[in-house]
Structure 1
Amino acid sequence: MACSTPQGVHETIDRANAAWRSSIDSQACFHQATIDKLFEARVYRTGEELPAEFDDEMSVLVSTPVEWAVEFRCFCLDGQIETASPYLRDGKLARLSQFESTSLELEAVHSFTADVLAASKSSLPRAGVVDIGLLQSGKWAVVEANAAWGSGLYGCNPSQALNAIREAIIQPGSGDSFYEIALTQ
């Protein structure tokens, strides 16, 4: 199987059997488990590089490798960005630049992410994290989406990120979540 998906878009592969493993030998592809972090998400150059514990029935995201200029973490709630921050710039942790970004970058991040959230409204939870990035080609793309409660803050505003994290872990009306108990005491 050649990695012919559009740049930045993952193709779901439902079975990773021996034939599939050998078919990727002709082209390096980015591989990521669809559930948890069952193996390291990275470019695998051959099927033999895939982890030995790789389950033949495991769902895997496969895409053509891309080069990112900058990647941003966006904590989102109810279809809106609560806070955003760059986390990688030219492959290096953005902490080295104090997670700085320009107003033009943030404007583009908000615009692109708003389009992504609107297009995905019916399939996304109320709260979560969407990582997006600017490709070296100058186009924006989605890196991945994750649970808000398990995502690093990087340079995001902690108070604003907490809005999304709180909503991601609270079951409204349950009365037994930590947050709801603290509010009633």
Structure 2
Amino acid sequence: MLLVPAQETSTGVLLAGAAAARGLETAVLAGADTVERLAGRPVHWYGGPLAGARIAGRLGLALLEPEDDWLVRLPEEFTGRRIELTTLADAWTLTRPAFVKPPSDKSLPPAVYADGSRLPRHGERIGPDTPVLVSEPVTFGAEYRLFVLDGEVVTGSRYARFGRLDPGPLTAGATDFARRLLAAVATSLPSAVALDVGPLLDPYDPAERWAVVEANMPWFAHCYAADPARVLDVVLRAAGPVAALRPADRRFVGAGGAPTVGADG
């Protein structure tokens, strides 16, 4: 069973079609009644983290997420920039331009801020202790999303050029860089993950240099021009029953979907 939110998205529609093609039913999360009806059934989630956190315990879901400090721990040869994990309160003290974003959710608009005074100070989902990633600003000439299962790229596509939405085919350059990265750091990621990469633009260095943009939760990632059937494979692993959770993935289960029973159910 694939469960999707009531608010329809293009990726949700594509995944529902891919699920139907392999005989899986899709249900819409219309309220508490939906959760009660599906309790005890094997359910997989595609949707936002807030709703996911609300339903994970009742539906026995294990929602895999990259660790908040994953980018920070990467060698600079893969990031192409300095990155630190800190709090929003510390980011408020910045006196230089910086790119600031939450590690995984969308509680704070990801952007280059001229200084810390431009960052939000109040909001329903943010506060002084909100974790944020702060990095020096860089420019990606293009950005690609690759869906990864068991350390292998299974599908992907371009989703932006020069910061503007522009879906297109996956290139050999993006795939080759992702494979080199995964060969070096695969065990630091969940077995199912969405990986964003792209070539950096440097006016002082014409050589093409690839870097990681970020790692994402597949169950909350647009598929753009990727193959929906292969994306579904990754989503099913990344947001499925606790009973099917692999031991190596236990440390990647987010707080909202923390397992309460063993892998044997």
* Unaligned 5+ runs, structure 2: 1-75, 203-207, 245-265
Alignment of 1:114 with 2:179, yes or no, is yes
What TM-score comes out, normalization by structure 1 length? 0.78
In the other structure, the counterpart of 1:11 is 84
Alignment of 1:140 with 2:210, yes or no, is yes
Determine which of 101, 105, 108 is the counterpart of 1:32. 101
Alignment of 1:50 with 2:141, yes or no, is no
| CA 62–169 in structure 1, closer or farther in 2 if over 3 Å, else same | same
Task: After TM superposition, give the deviation of residue 117 of structure 1 in Å.
Answer: 1.6
Task: After TM superposition, give the deviation of residue 8 of structure 1 in Å.
Answer: 4.0
Determine which of 115, 126, 136 is the counterpart of 2:191. 126
Cα distance in structure 1, aligned partners of 2:113 and 2:144: 24
Kindly report the root-mean-square deviation, in angstroms, between the aligned alpha carbons of the 2 structures: 2.0
Look up the equivalent residue of 2:225 and give its one-letter code: G
| CA 59–150 in structure 1, closer or farther in 2 if over 3 Å, else same | same
Cα distance in structure 2, aligned partners of 1:113 and 1:68: 15
Q: Is the 8 A contact 1:127 1:167 kept in 2?
A: yes
What TM-score comes out, normalization by structure 2 length? 0.55
Cα distance in structure 1, aligned partners of 2:198 and 2:218: 18
Determine which of 67, 88, 92 is the counterpart of 2:164. 92
Q: Is the 8 A contact 2:104 2:216 kept in 1?
A: no
Task: After TM superposition, give the deviation of residue 91 of structure 1 in Å.
Answer: 2.4
The within-5 A match list for 1:134-173 is: 134-137=199-202, 138-171=208-241, 173=243
Secondary structure in 1 matching 2:241: coil
Which one has more relative contact order, counting CA pairs under 8 Å at least 6 apart?
A: 2
Identity of aligned residues (%): 31
| CA 156–120 in structure 1, closer or farther in 2 if over 3 Å, else same | same
| CA 35–85 in structure 1, closer or farther in 2 if over 3 Å, else same | closer
